[in-house]
């Protein structure tokens, strides 16, 4: 399977970039907090809803899919 910068695809990479390296430290802190208090899948669902639901996108146009958010949260 082809990978993009160590991620499953461009969308997963871009979501991880915005969630883990964005200028908005409050978003990163929120993600870490959710990960501490909920299992991975539930934390990702909550964050997805807070970001605007299933159709929400990063400023670069990558969709905040549940699988992309979960992948970004795994290392936290």
- 65 domain residue, yes or no: yes
Tell me what pLDDT residue 1 has: 59
pLDDT tens per residue, the chain (76 residues)? 578 888 999 999 999 999 998 677 889 999 999 999 999 999 999 999 999 999 999 999 999 999 999 999 997 8
- 33 domain residue, yes or no: yes
- 4 domain residue, yes or no: no
Expressed as residue numbers, the domain containing 16 is 10-73
- For the entire predicted model, the pTM comes to 0.91
Considering its fold, how many domains does the chain have in total? 1
One DSSP character per residue, 15-69 reads HHHHHHH-S-HHHHHHHHHHHHHS-HHHHHHHHHHHHTSTT-B-TTS-B--HHHH
- 2 domain residue, yes or no: no
């Amino acid at each position: 399977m082809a990978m993009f910068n160590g991620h499953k695809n461009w969308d997963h990479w871009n979501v991880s970039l915005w969630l883990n390296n964005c200028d908005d430290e409050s978003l990163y802190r929120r993600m870490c907090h959710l990960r501490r208090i909920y299992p991975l899948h539930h934390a990702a669902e909550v964050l997805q809803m807070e970001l605007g639901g299933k159709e929400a996108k990063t400023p670069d146009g990558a969709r905040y899919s549940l699988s992309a958010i979960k992948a970004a949260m795994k290392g936290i």
